[in-house]
Chain A
Amino acid sequence: MRFKLKKSYVEDLRLFEYRSSLMWYLALLAFLAVFPFFAGTYWVYNFMLAGIYSIVALGLNILTGYTGQISLGHAAFYAIGAYTTGFLTTKLGCTFWLALPLAGMAAALIGLIVGIPALRLTGIYLAIATMGFAFIIDQVILEWKYVTNGTNGLIVDRPTLGPISFNSDQAYYYVILLFVVLFVWITKNFERSPTGRAFIAVRDSEVAAQTMGISLAKVKTTAFAISAFYTGFAGGLFAPLINFIGPDNFSIMESINFIVIIIVGGIGSVHGSIFGAIFMTFLSEIIRLGKDVLPEAMQRMVGFQGAVYGLILMAFILFEPLGLYGRWLKIRFLFEVFPLYRRDTFRKKRKFYRSERSR
């Protein structure tokens, strides 16, 4: 185990606890910066997708992981962001660089509006209500043809900035990378600020949070709005990435996929959001890696992907509820304390007959 002598409170506010971890992150950033130069388009494209999912996952984690509010409707915020950029740039000729923050804000505004009735709802009630909200937004997309073109969808171009065009995948990659870094940084800032702590307080005990002077209404709507902002912003980045958006991109399955990302990565952590996004983006790759194990015929069956997807989700909840990041921490811990760990160090506590019905 590593110990560090701290000499001032400022040290606890640093983003990187150790100098060595700062070095590692810089190295990672450098790698990501040169990545498009040697990797093929396929990889670059998927990394962009993973980047966008990372932003969504960070946002969803703020609501679900930190504040403890379940949302089965995040695809709606994603759609709002995507259609806002699409509509503003293609139909109103607005520049992408203005449309993008507006996409986030539009989603945040709707997030606020959803957040207010959601205040009195908890658990399954909230989950189903947000799912209903997403279905309603789905219908609005289909019907509000002036903005969305209905089932015909919208064609959205990649942006330009003065003389620079981000038309190629390689170029647009840097736009996304920039924003992923930005949102990671913002999330880390929330983690060390009063609002971030208030999120956790509301998740862990609403009554106690209130006695701290925390207004549940304010904190929950803030979480909804921030989360929607992230997701809408990601949607705004997503539209030019795939060039074409239609109602199919934002179904209930997409909402579920977002949650799967944070579960697989690890709920309530920045690392987890990114691990999960990368893992789920490259899932089909990962399945292909496991190809040798399975008979060819099974591979080609319809629904094979779906079955594996469902299995992975179930397996994580059963065996690895802390997600990939949790697993990583455990492995690191074992190395650090080797040979002192005991087999039961990470034994799951059995929580018999505990009720969540009352809160």
Chain B
Amino acid sequence: MIAVKDRLRAEPKSRWRFPVTLEGMLYLLPSIVLFAVFLFYPMFKTIYLSLFLTDAQGNAQIFVGLEHYSQLLSSPSFRASLKATVLFVLYTVPAGVILALGLALLANQKLKGIGFFRTLFSSTMGMSVAASSVIWLFIYNPAIGIANTIMTTLGLQEMQWLLNPDTALISVAIPTIWMNTGFSFLILLGGLHNIDASLYESGKIAGVSDFYSLRKITLPLLSPTLLFIVTVSLINSFQTFGQIDILTKGGPMESTNVIVYSIFKDAFVNFNIGSASAQAVLLFAFILIVTILQFKWSEKKVHYQ
């Protein structure tokens, strides 16, 4: 910017010069092109398609206005989807963040061999959703799975984890937490690492308790990182697809039919692309609102340094 300004001042007015806004646009061009092709175009196309009835190839046929939206909002199946999604987010996000935070606090201690645990705790980050889901498919297997073995050794009743509509959503939430922990853990550990050790030493000299340190030093100074993790986890959780597809396929009795899975089914199984697009738009709006609310709410509580 400064360079541009200087040059403008230096050059005589009469000479032709490249308009500044155009020059700026030129620098932005690569990312504008990428965003346009992979983000803006699909987004507007989705909004466009949500206003039409489509054929099996996904071509717009008849304009129906907001009919898809009104149908969706009054459909019990979509409402169930919405409820499953919200429940799923509530199951996975708080638990996942708290678990990752706890592990990060543990792994941030200066102990011998802590590097091993750091690697271990972050290892799920390196696993694909498909591989993890298959592992959990085995764990949940009613006959040979370790989940039921544990239940019996604890003297509890065996469960039909993924097959019972009451437990299926939680049974998918648990692997999701497990998968997300690695990433959240690593980011939170980095955040903890950035907190100046002398602040804790200052606390030690004053004699404050560990819990007080956590509340008054760690959490406030970690709050930007926590906000980031919560936001990413929220969005991730709203968009969960892979583990649903592999573990339950939206069943049993649609109890795990979260919105993204329902979009997938409507678009690529029922070829009802107009309705699927409308759902996608609703999901987008929903995530947008939640994220804005979250930022608004946390504005006062997050301390940027």
A and B associate: no
Which residues of A approach B to under 8 Å, CB–CB? none
